[in-house]
Structure 1
Amino acid sequence: MTELLWGKEPARTRGPKPAITLAEIAAAGIAIADAEGLDAVSMQRVADDLPVTKMALYRHVPGKTELVAVMSDQAMSSPPERPGGPWREALQTWALDLYDGFTRHPWLLQSTIGRRPLGPNELAWMERGLAGLAGAGLTGGEQLDSILVITSHVRNIAQQSTTFPGRSTGLTEEDLQRSLSEILSTEAARFPRLVAAMSTSAGSENQGLEFGLQRILDGLELLISGRTGSTSGH
């Protein structure tokens, strides 16, 4: 799998030149996953959509597990180029870019978990995040943990705010808010704190990403300033 992620396809035996490439196979899988969810991806379905024979796919990739790994790295693509700046600003921009990627391809939240080989694009995202912390005075372990905590927050909010293809409830965000308001209007005595909080939350809907991110960065700033004697994020 590692070889495939890094562009090293199996050696081709004698015969005609393949009609498709691994990148084209992955792109077809991405299109299916974007439209219908990761469960809809299969070797047969990808073959049908290209269209080629299923056996033609196996000349490039051993099976679905390896295909999804290649799809994931290709869908993540390289992180956007951003101008340099203070560490706090750099990490905030990095986190928002990462969130955009997850919401653009929601199935990545399923395919990029657990212990698995990492491809060049996923490592490039880590590299850019770590570059934002360069010179902040943190140890290597602290830098990696900082990236892990921010990534976990981004993933969690994306998970909560995303409707996964093929698993839609048919409800919009407005529908959910209206339903909750109707329930609380008749159950105010049972949930008084929730009613009170929601009554003063106008304008803060879907702000969990930014709120949580700023609190994480606040904590990092305390750590960094305590060590360097300055607020280096500004």
Structure 2
Amino acid sequence: MNQDYSGSGDPARSLELLWGLQARPTRGPKPALTVDRVVGAAVKIADAEGLSAMSMRRVADELGVGAMTLYRYVPGKGELLDVMLDSAYAEMPRRTVEGDWRARLDEVARENREVYLRHPWMLYVATSRPPLGPGVMAKYEYELAAVEGIGLSDVEMDAAVALVNGYVHGAVRSAVDAKQVIQSSGITDRQWWETHEPLLDRIGDAREFPLASRVGTTVGQEFGAPYDSEHAFEFGLARVLDGIAALLAER
């Protein structure tokens, strides 16, 4: 399975693009584009059609220029992807909320969720080597501030933020995948459940699988589907924050 990775391009060139340190083109015709325009076009394509549809040629077509023209601004897809990610992370509003660390960390989770839902292609990029641009750095600073001074060590602060972000990433990816199933099949979750529910008595033995039968039926009746992304997100986020609260209580 193909996998896109951040940090797969030339690190020096990526950092130049991320921080606006690249030299302006000096040869050829007067520059008709900017890095921001190139990135904006790439994000537009990825938002609408997924990252697999985004290529240097496709971005060039979107901008109405030849593919080689883009290379005057961005050296390749790897570096372009780094800047796309950083620009998306920079969209986080980084709101100030009233309350304690739990309220702040809850807001961090919800802001990350908003960004992923707006740009679902981000969920399919491995970011163990994140683009170290201004968007990523501002995001990390904001997230760490949510747990600053609450009794965690620096390593634990980083781990707490990673725990919340990892949970959000997984939860939103499951929700996006479920939405894509509806789009590709043309059948809603409720329609799927209503079609399958009458058949369950024929294939399921409640005596052999009593818990699965009882709980599965209850969930299906509650949500009209085998899964509800909103409920799953809220329940899981609360439990993650409960775990951090338990750690702090031990201190």
| TM-score tier after normalising by the smaller chain length | 0.7 to 0.9
Q: Give TM-score, length-normalised by structure 2.
A: 0.81
Query: In 2, distance between residues paired with 1:220 and 1:71?
Result: 32
Amino acid across the alignment from 2:92: P
Equivalent pairs counted in the alignment come to 227
Query: In 1, distance between residues paired with 2:195 and 2:129?
Result: 39
- Greater helix content: 2
Amino acid across the alignment from 1:66: E
Residue aligning to 2:228: 205
Q: Deviations over 1:130-177 (max 9, x none)?
A: 111112110010010001111111111111110499985334333444
- Shift in alpha-carbon separation, 1:67–1:78, aligned structure 2, 3 A: same
Residue aligning to 1:86: 100
Aligned residues of 2:94 and 2:139 also touching (Cα < 8 A): no
Gaps of 5+ in 2: 1-13
Gaps of 5+ in 1: 228-234
Amino acid across the alignment from 2:232: G
Instruction: Decide which of 183, 194, 200 is 2:212's aligned counterpart.
Output: 194
Query: In 1, distance between residues paired with 2:21 and 2:192?
Result: 47
- Shift in alpha-carbon separation, 1:166–1:25, aligned structure 2, 3 A: farther
Residue aligning to 1:125: 139
Residue aligning to 1:60: 73
Q: Which of the pair has the greater relative contact order for Cα pairs under 8 Å at 6+ separation?
A: 1
Percent identity of equivalent pairs: 37
Query: In 2, distance between residues paired with 1:56 and 1:14?
Result: 12
Residue aligning to 2:8: none
Q: Give TM-score, length-normalised by structure 1.
A: 0.86
Instruction: Decide which of 156, 178, 184 is 2:170's aligned counterpart.
Output: 156
Residue aligning to 2:22: 9
CA RMSD of aligned residues (A): 2.4
Q: Deviations over 1:184-214 (max 9, x none)?
A: 3433316432221133332583212111111
Amino acid across the alignment from 1:205: D
Residue aligning to 1:144: 158
- Shift in alpha-carbon separation, 1:198–1:43, aligned structure 2, 3 A: same
